[in-house]
Amino acid sequence: MLYSTEQLVSIAVTVLLVMFSAIVHEVAHGWVAYRLGDPTAKEAGRLTLDPRAHLDGFGSVLLPLIMAFLGGPVFAFARPVPYNPYRLRHPRRDELLVALAGPASNVLQALVGTALLGAFWSLAPGAYASGTLSLELVGGTLDLLTTYVYVNLVLCFFNLIPFPPLDGSKVVLFFLKGDARRKFYELSQYAMVGLILILYVLPTVLGFDPLGIYLNATAGRFYDALVTLATGV
């Protein structure tokens, strides 16, 4: 399948926005852990937005490219920011807060994107009428802002899936104690393979896409609501 220049540019922009949003997501984990007593991420030099400290070849570049070319929801992951739950002041509670910091950062980014979209939506007609902005620039900026909102909502709700090693699994972990908690940690080391099988093999073999259904019902609906809030359309 051949892609037009416009489509390739759109794919590149989407992947870059996903990469940036995923990096902010990981830094948020490390920053909250640091504030709660664990300096592991700071000691590893990971409390930075410098992409060189975070990018994962597969998760940050190849995976979002594949998903963008396939035309479905695009998500990615950066290299997880290290933290040590035993260095947290209140390990059981604080581990949950550290986990939720990532999705919370994506919600915050989506809200920032919504605010920028609303401001641009109100200013664009006048700027276009005066010749300050071209129609192409107006359209490109709107695409950029709406994509930024959408990819952050996708990253938020994808990471809230309660399956190791996603952040949502830490919500489950919060309710586990003793031997069950230890076994859950052991399971987390191998769960990514199972997650990929569920997300990719299941739709391919059975034609059933639970991830797409879930993201449409969560990220998709919130996206529609935020865009309507920003533009009134």
Catalytic annotation, residues: 26
Check if the beta carbon of residue 142 is closer than 8 Å to that of residue 103: no
d(CA 25, CA 39): 17
Surface-to-core class of residue 89, CB atoms within 10 Å of its CB (0-12 exposed, 13-18 middle, 19+ buried) = exposed
d(CA 62, CA 7): 17
* Dihedral, CA of residue 179, residue 184, residue 186 and residue 189, to nearest 10: -170
Q: Is 4 helix (H, G, I), strand (E, B) or coil?
A: coil
Check if the beta carbon of residue 71 is closer than 8 Å to that of residue 30: no
d(CA 210, CA 202): 8
